[in-house]
Amino acid sequence: MAYYKIQHITRYSYTSPVIDSINQVMLYPMQDDHQKVISHKLTVSGDPFIESFSDYFGNHLGVFSLPQPHQYLSICSDIEVETIAIPEPSSTETAVTQWEALKSLHNDAIFMDYLRPESFAQLDEVTAQVCNLMQPGDTPLQSANRLSEFVFTHFQYRKGITSVETGMEDIWRLKAGVCQDFAHILLVMLHIGGIPARYVSGYICPRNGELRGEGATHAWVEAYIPYYGWLGLDPTNNCIASEKHVRLAIGRHFSDCTPVKGTYKGTAEHVLEVSVVISNGSEAAMTMPLPEPAFTYKVEQRPVEGSNSYRQYVEAQQQQQQ
């Protein structure tokens, strides 16, 4: 069992007052048998009413609006969570039986969204690679691990070379990127292999900086393993998701799990600052100092329809992430 306190602060500072800000946040930690939420507090400047609901994928969302003029917006998520070690799958069923069980899910509405490979120019090339990697007699778990290891081994972890706008064809061509890119490539490969898989957003909480993706939001994949259920695979770190992974949301891809997004009316010139601080330990009374911004992004050009800059922030995060 592991205990974490996570503080995630998003700050917008506008050069002149803006109005009619409407935002959606996906900063609520999941709760299940392997992740217990001790407390969660979401604080927004201006103290708007936050309406919460569940989306199509079962994620907890919050929506709020600030119609009055404002020149500053702060969204602070404070989480206390306990995570429990996840046992690895163990099945006495043969590989053939397990693959037949997966095949039976292909017409199940619950799994359809997690089985469709994204179409892009090099899909045939990726398909050929998947066929070469998947060995006769392998179980779905063995195949999933083999594909995850391939991504980890053959893709270079490099900040700034990709953005959220980078398509699959460019990620495959570059063979480089960050956690989001690693997750998207593995998703496509698992889908090609007939294994249901979904995108996961959250945090990774290493104790000594031994894993990549620390200090910001993280992304990995969950694959459906017959007679077990959903199992997290982190291709960025070539590991099975463990008690060091804290989950926020699941979906088909990044856009289903965006932590903060919204629109407003007014100047597009603003500064976005984001801080993520994670404390490890067992002391429930542990306090955390207000963090300095980990990432800062200044918008000077007007984006389409005054949309906020979360997309630009992710690009900056990828360029600055250590």
For the chain, what are the domain ranges? Answer: 2-83+258-320, 95-256
End-to-end CA distance of the chain: 27
CA distances from 107 to 58, 139, 250, 252, 318 (A): 20, 21, 21, 17, 37
Note the CATH architecture for domain 95-256.
Answer: Roll (3.10)
Query: Cβ distance 161 to 177 under 8 Å?
Result: yes
Q: Which residues contact 318 (CB under 8 A, 6 or more apart)?
A: 159, 160, 162, 163, 177, 178, 180
Per DSSP, 187 falls in state H
Q: At what angle do helices 140-154 and 123-133 cross, to 10 degrees?
A: 120
Distance CA 16, CA 27 (A): 27
176 forms bridges with which residues in the sheet? 156
CATH class as words, domain 2-83+258-320: mainly beta
Q: DSSP 3-state assignment of 315?
A: helix
Q: Tell me, what's the pLDDT at 286?
A: 45
Q: Tell me, what's the pLDDT at 160?
A: 75
Residue 65: both structure tokens together: 């609006």
Q: Which residues contact 262 (CB under 8 A, 6 or more apart)?
A: 21, 22, 23, 24, 307, 308, 310
4 forms bridges with which residues in the sheet? 81, 280
Query: Cβ distance 267 to 283 under 8 Å?
Result: no
Q: Tell me, what's the pLDDT at 206?
A: 74
Residue 236: both structure tokens together: 């960025």
- Global pTM reads 0.86
**pLDDT 10s digits, 208-217:** 666 776 667 8
Low-confidence ranges of the chain (pLDDT < 70): 164, 207-210, 213-215, 281-322
Distance CA 150, CA 54 (A): 35
Q: Tell me, what's the pLDDT at 191?
A: 96
Query: Cβ distance 157 to 319 under 8 Å?
Result: no
Q: Tell me, what's the pLDDT at 292?
A: 53
Rounded to the nearest 10°, the torsion over CA 38, 212, 260, 172 is -140
Q: Tell me, what's the pLDDT at 75?
A: 96
Using DSSP bridges, classify how beta strands 270-280 and 295-299 pair: parallel, antiparallel or unpaired: antiparallel
